[in-house]
Amino acid sequence: MSPLMVVRSFGSEVWKLTAKEILESLSDLVRIESILIGCGLLLICWSLYFKKVAGLALRSI
Protein backbone atom coordinates (compact mmCIF):
# COMPACT_ATOMS: atom_id res chain seq x y z
CA MET A 1 0.00 0.00 0.00
CA SER A 2 1.53 3.30 -1.04
CA PRO A 3 1.77 6.30 1.25
CA LEU A 4 -0.72 8.11 -1.00
CA MET A 5 -3.23 5.29 -0.51
CA VAL A 6 -2.76 5.45 3.27
CA VAL A 7 -3.38 9.21 3.24
CA ARG A 8 -6.48 8.86 1.07
CA SER A 9 -7.95 5.98 3.07
CA PHE A 10 -6.96 6.71 6.66
CA GLY A 11 -5.76 10.31 6.89
CA SER A 12 -2.44 12.09 6.88
CA GLU A 13 -1.35 11.57 10.48
CA VAL A 14 2.33 10.71 10.71
CA TRP A 15 1.80 7.69 12.97
CA LYS A 16 -0.38 6.00 10.32
CA LEU A 17 2.36 6.34 7.71
CA THR A 18 4.92 5.13 10.26
CA ALA A 19 2.77 2.11 11.12
CA LYS A 20 2.47 1.29 7.41
CA GLU A 21 6.27 1.42 6.99
CA ILE A 22 6.89 -0.72 10.09
CA LEU A 23 4.36 -3.36 9.03
CA GLU A 24 5.79 -3.43 5.52
CA SER A 25 9.32 -3.92 6.89
CA LEU A 26 8.17 -6.73 9.18
CA SER A 27 6.43 -8.50 6.32
CA ASP A 28 9.63 -8.25 4.25
CA LEU A 29 11.64 -9.75 7.12
CA VAL A 30 9.20 -12.63 7.48
CA ARG A 31 9.32 -13.27 3.74
CA ILE A 32 13.13 -13.27 3.71
CA GLU A 33 13.26 -15.48 6.80
CA SER A 34 10.94 -18.05 5.23
CA ILE A 35 13.04 -18.12 2.06
CA LEU A 36 16.20 -18.67 4.10
CA ILE A 37 14.56 -21.45 6.11
CA GLY A 38 13.38 -23.10 2.89
CA CYS A 39 16.87 -22.94 1.39
CA GLY A 40 18.35 -24.38 4.56
CA LEU A 41 15.91 -27.28 4.53
CA LEU A 42 16.72 -27.98 0.89
CA LEU A 43 20.43 -28.02 1.64
CA ILE A 44 19.93 -30.38 4.58
CA CYS A 45 17.82 -32.76 2.50
CA TRP A 46 20.31 -32.66 -0.36
CA SER A 47 23.27 -33.36 1.91
CA LEU A 48 21.48 -36.26 3.61
CA TYR A 49 20.56 -37.71 0.23
CA PHE A 50 24.13 -37.26 -1.00
CA LYS A 51 25.51 -39.03 2.07
CA LYS A 52 23.06 -41.90 1.53
CA VAL A 53 23.97 -42.26 -2.16
CA ALA A 54 27.70 -41.99 -1.41
CA GLY A 55 27.37 -44.63 1.32
CA LEU A 56 25.56 -46.99 -1.06
CA ALA A 57 28.18 -46.42 -3.76
CA LEU A 58 31.06 -47.10 -1.37
CA ARG A 59 29.42 -50.25 0.00
CA SER A 60 28.90 -51.62 -3.49
CA ILE A 61 32.60 -51.37 -4.36
Task: Give Cα separations from 3 to 23, 25, 44 (angstroms).
Answer: 13, 14, 41
Average pLDDT on 13-24 reads: 83
Q: Percent of the chain beyond pLDDT 70?
A: 90
Distance of CA 21 to the CA centre of its chain: 18
- Of the pLDDT bands very low, low, confident and very high (cuts 50, 70, 90), residue 1 is low
Task: Please give the Cα distance from 52 to 50 (Å, whole number).
Answer: 5
> DSSP assignment, residue 12?
S
| Mean pLDDT for all residues in the chain | 79
Q: pLDDT (tens digit, 9 = 90+) per residue, 33-44?
A: 788 888 888 888
Does the pTM of the predicted model rise above 0.85?
no
